[in-house]
Amino acid sequence: MATLKVAVKPAAAPMKVAQISKPGADFEIVDREIPEPGAREVRIKVQACGVCHSDVLTKEGIWPGIQYPRIPGHEVAGVVDELGAGVSEWNKGQRVGVGWHGGHDGTCRECRRGDFRNCRNVKVCGINYDGGYQQYMLAPAEALAAIPETLRDVDAAPLLCAGITTYNALRHSGALPGDLVAVQGIGGLGHLGIQFANKFGYKVAAIGRGSENAPLAKKLGASLYIDSQSTNAAEALQKLGGAQVILATAPSSKAMSALIDGLGPNGKLMVIGATFDPIEVTPIQLITGSRTIQGWAAGTPADSEDTLRFAELTGVRPMIETYPLEKAGDAYARMMSGKAQFRVVLTM
In this complex, which beta carbon is closest to Zn ion, that of residue 99 or of residue 264? 99
Q: Is 119 in the site for Zn ion (CB under 5 A)?
A: yes
Tell me the window of 96-104, 180-188, 220-228, 313-321 that interacts with Zn ion (CB under 5 A).
96-104
| Binding span for Zn ion by CB under 5 A among 7-15, 115-123, 183-191, 314-322 | 115-123
Sign of the alpha-carbon torsion through 206, 57, 63, 139: positive
Which residue type sits at 209?
R
User: Considering the rule CB under 5 A, would residue 198 count as an interface residue with Zn ion?
Assistant: no
Stretch of residues binding Zn ion (CB under 5 A), selected from 56-64, 107-115, 177-185, 192-200: 107-115
Helices 190-199 and 301-314 pack at an angle, to 10 degrees, of 70
Least distance CB 6 / Zn ion (angstroms): 45
CB of 343 to Zn ion, least distance (A): 10
The CA–CA distances, whole Å, from 265 to 34, 206, 248, 291 equal 55, 20, 18, 7
Give the C-alpha separation, 51 to 334, whole Å: 9
Binding status of residue 52 toward Zn ion by CB under 5 A:
yes
By the rule CB under 5 A, 46 interacts with Zn ion: no
Q: Check binding of 159 to Zn ion (CB under 5 A).
A: no
Q: How far apart are CA 219 and CA 185, in angstroms?
A: 15
The least CB distance from residue 235 to Zn ion, in Å, is 33
Return all residues near 235 (Cβ < 8 A) that are at least 6 apart: 261, 262
Residue 105 interacts with Zn ion (CB under 5 A): yes or no: yes
Closest approach, Cβ 112 to Zn ion, in A, equals 8
Minimum CB separation from Zn ion for residue 328, in Å?
Answer: 16
Of 153, 173, 223, 168, which is closest to residue 194 (Cα–Cα)?
A: 223
DSSP codes, 309-345: HHHHHHT----EEEEEGGGHHHHHHHHHHT-SSSEEE
The minimum distance between CB 282 and Zn ion, in angstroms, equals 32
Distances in Å between the Cα of 334 and the Cα atoms of 50, 93, 104, 134, 329 are 12, 32, 32, 19, 9
Q: Among 37, 48, 51, 54, which residue sits at the site for Zn ion (rule: CB under 5 A)?
A: 54
Beta bridge partners of 18: 29
Report how far residue 52's alpha carbon sits from residue 26's, in angstroms, rounded to the nearest whole number. Answer: 16
Task: Provide CB contacts within 8 A for 171, sequence distance 6+.
Answer: 200
For residue 121, the minimal CB distance to Zn ion (Å) is 5
Q: State the Cα–Cα distance between residues 118 and 55, nearest whole angstrom.
A: 20
- Min dist CB 108 to Zn ion, Å, is 3
Nearest partner of 51 among 115, 107, 126, judged by Cα: 126
- Which one of residues 161, 186, 245, 248 is an interface residue with Zn ion (CB under 5 A)? 161
Q: Is the Cβ of residue 98 or residue 260 nearer to Zn ion in the bound state?
A: 98
Residue 227 engages Zn ion in binding (rule: CB under 5 A): no
Is 108 an interacting residue with respect to Zn ion (CB under 5 A)?
yes
Whether 303 contacts 168, CB under 8 Å:
yes
Pick the piece of the chain touching Zn ion (CB under 5 A) from 37-45, 155-163, 203-211, 241-249.
155-163
Q: Quick one: which of 111, 137, 189, 340 contacts Zn ion (CB under 5 A)?
A: 111
Q: Least distance in Å: CB of 262 to Zn ion? A: 27
What kind and span of H or E run contains 215?
helix 214-220
Nearest CB to Zn ion, comparing residues 101 and 199: 101
Indicate whether 272 belongs to the interface with Zn ion (CB under 5 A).
no
104 contacts Zn ion (rule: CB under 5 A): yes
101 lies in the site for Zn ion, by CB under 5 A: no
Q: Rounded CA gap, 140 and 119, in Å?
A: 15
| Shortest distance, position 164 Cβ to Zn ion, whole Å | 9
* Residues engaged in binding Zn ion (CB under 5 A): 52, 54, 104-105, 108, 111, 119, 161
